[in-house]
Amino acid sequence: DCQTCNYTQLRMNGLAGGYSQILINGRPIFSPLTGLYGLEQIPVNMIDKIEIIRGGGSSLYGSSAIGGTVNVITKIPKVNSFSI
């Protein structure tokens, strides 16, 4: 946990946050300098589903995927829609 910035780290399989890969729509979102993800900034109503892959996946998802991988899949936006 980052005590000064009030962000939470994901811990999978007993490993620290830096050993878990976080993806949004298959793209990594991780700051190796701070170990933060910024998942708190994604509005819940934008999330369609969350895929959790436990265990090592470094060959598929990158070197940070030792503890596991979380893929946040967002909803497909409705084009040209408007409501009041």
Domain boundaries defined on the chain: 17-74
Query: What does the pLDDT read at residue 19?
Result: 77
pLDDT recorded at residue 34: 54
- Say whether 10 sits in a helix, a strand or coil: coil
At the top level of CATH, which class does the domain 17-74 belong to?
Answer: mainly beta
The whole-number pLDDT of residue 47 equals: 92
pTM for the full predicted model: 0.71
| Residues of the chain scoring pLDDT < 50 | none
Q: Quick check: 50 and 71 in contact, CB under 8 A?
A: yes
